[in-house]
Amino acid sequence: MVGLHATMRERHMEFHHMGELRSDLYGGSNGLEREPDESIPLIYNDIRTDNAPYENWASFYSDLHRINDAIKNIPCIDFASKNEKNYLIGQAYGMRAYYYYTMLRTWGGVPIITEPTESVDFSNLKKPRGTKQEVMDLIKSDLKASLEAFGDNESFQNGSRRRWSRAATLMLKADVYIWSGTHHQGGAADYQEAKAALGKIVGNSNFGLLSDFSSVFKYNNKNNKEIIFAFHFESDQATNGMGRFQAKQAHISGYYDYNGVKFGTTLALTGSSGYHPSEDANLGVLFEDYPLDKRADATWIRVYKAPGHNASDLVAAVGNKFMGNVVGGLRVMVDDKPVYRYAYALLLLAEAKNLLGEDPSNEINLLRKRAYGANFNPSIHTYVNQSKHLNTEAILKEGLKEMGMEGFRWWDLRRAGDAYVFEHNKYLNPGDEYKLLLPITREMIGRNPALEQTPGYTN
């Protein structure tokens, strides 16, 4: 199980990029540096079969082989504790559901493989893609198996929220069932399932919002009460890739922060290019209520050509949410990377309630009250229930401010529905529906002729 979590952590940037880079956060004018070459097709949604990203299904099937091995063989092993055995089974099914859910949202139908590869039978290597509904059915089945194995065990393995748990499965279930209700015609029944799953998280004494937004991500505050599941990073063990959302010293030298202070060496990082929200994307929204909304500065640092924070001098913004730790004078990217946290449970609950025709304002206001703190003015900042469409826009806007740099914006837009993707992303338009899913490479089809290209793309 340690190995399964380690290999899952190795994919953290794939998970992140799949869930954020194609959103409306990035792209357009950026005065600091260009984005990494391999990510430009994703950011600008200029995706074709000849530049298809993620060769070989992003290597996810290597990880799924190990998970399938665990699912098949853990039940055959004698344990001194049945609870420990069931906990491991619950983890394995939950993690498999997470992989397949990521693939479903990325490619649509994918090959369904639920047995470990224990010998090579060349006649069985040609595996076709399952349908989107078949993949969704597997995901729901795995979620059910995971929760049955966990039972009512709400504990964290070794007290660590860096291991998959019952709470992580409940969060995934809520996410999945909202998606299923919108994209698989599950409707109200699926939204109720999502709401019920979230009801076991929201209000649970194991979780809650921290009073200070920025403290959720502090290096010295890992494993805090807001975290439900996170990828763990540590010096001399593994580092995350979040430095690419910040800046090299050479690229910010001579520029100024919002307060007119010239940048020194505090943001110095290695790397050649980065991801920064551009001034013609969402910078205006992210900072629309600065300095009252504390999430703005906690997530992004604005970069200006001159002191005075004039809008005309704004160059870009660089990440501030995952600043790592300084070791021997060098910044090391070892912050834990949340996969699910309590704030996202509130956003998902607001979505489910809104889709059911209920009032989502309580969840939105809980996040706003934490964001504004002593600056919260009930007569100005309180959200009041409106139409379903306006509520959706409010939830999306709150998520943009709350979850930036955490790998959710693209998934949030997609889960809301195609119309919201086209409304918010200027690099996609009606008629581009096929681009919501990624193509597979020609090499993948060459190795497995049973594969068919994602609909809408030509080989």
Q: What is the pLDDT of residues 116-127, one digit of tens each?
A: 988 877 766 789
pLDDT of residue 265: 59
Condensed to tens digits (0 to 9), the pLDDT of residues 63-118 reads: 999 999 999 999 999 999 999 999 999 999 999 999 999 999 999 999 999 999 88
Kindly state the average pLDDT of the residues 430-449.
95
Q: How many helices (H) and strands (E) does the chain have?
A: 18, 6
Share of the chain above pLDDT 90, in %: 77
Condensed to tens digits (0 to 9), the pLDDT of residues 329-373 reads: 778 889 999 999 999 999 999 999 999 999 999 999 999 999 999
Residue among 431, 446, 436, 390 at smallest CA distance from 413: 436
Q: Is the peptide bond before 291 cis (omega within 30 degrees of 0)?
A: yes
pLDDT-based confidence at 226, cuts 50/70/90?
very high
Condensed to tens digits (0 to 9), the pLDDT of residues 138-154 reads: 999 999 999 999 999 99
Does the structure show a pLDDT above 60 at 280? no
pLDDT of residue 272: 52
Kindly state the average pLDDT of the residues 324-333.
82
Kindly state the average pLDDT of the residues 424-431.
92
pLDDT of residue 38: 84
Sequence-distant (≥ 6) Cβ neighbours of residue 185 within 8 angstroms: none
Does the structure show a pLDDT above 70 at 269? no
- 88 in helix, strand or coil? helix
pLDDT of residue 330: 78
Residue among 194, 228, 120 at smallest CA distance from 354: 194
Kindly state the average pLDDT of the residues 210-236.
96
Does the structure show a pLDDT above 70 at 203? yes
pLDDT-based confidence at 318, cuts 50/70/90?
confident
Residue among 45, 148, 59, 116 at smallest CA distance from 433: 45
Residue among 223, 239, 90, 99 at smallest CA distance from 165: 90
User: What 8-state DSSP symbol labels residue 408?
Assistant: -
Does the structure show a pLDDT above 80 at 240? yes
Alpha carbons 214 and 274: distance in angstroms, whole number? 22
> What does the block give as tokens for 269?
């990082």
> What does the block give as tokens for 209?
């919002």
pLDDT of residue 278: 67
Please, where are the H alpha helices in 52-113? 60-73, 82-107
How many Cβ atoms are within 10 Å of 207's Cβ, its own excluded? 19
Helix axes 409-416, 12-20, angle to 10 degrees: 50
pLDDT of residue 37: 81
Residue 353 is inside which H or E element, if any? helix 342-355
pLDDT-based confidence at 451, cuts 50/70/90?
very high
Does the structure show a pLDDT above 60 at 266? no
pLDDT-based confidence at 326, cuts 50/70/90?
confident
The pLDDT mean for the chain works out to 92
In the block, tokens 């299904």 appear at 57
Does the structure show a pLDDT above 70 at 171? yes
Kindly state the average pLDDT of the residues 382-388.
98
pLDDT-based confidence at 36, cuts 50/70/90?
confident
